[in-house]
Amino acid sequence: MATSGQFARAWLLTGLLLAPGLAAEPVPAAAKDVIAEVHSAASTSNYAKLRALMIEEFSWSFGGDASADQAIAEWRKQPRYLRRLAEITKSTCVYRDKYVECPANAGTSYRAGFTRIGDRWKMAYFVEGD
Which domains are present in the chain? 25-127 (3.10.450.50)
**Does pLDDT of 30 surpass 70?**
yes
Confidence (pTM): 0.80
Paired sense of beta strands 111-117 and 99-102, if any: antiparallel
Q: Quick one: pLDDT at residue 11?
A: 30
Per-residue pLDDT of 43-97, as tens digits, reads 999 999 999 999 999 999 866 678 999 999 999 999 999 999 999 999 999 999 8
Q: Quick one: pLDDT at residue 62?
A: 65
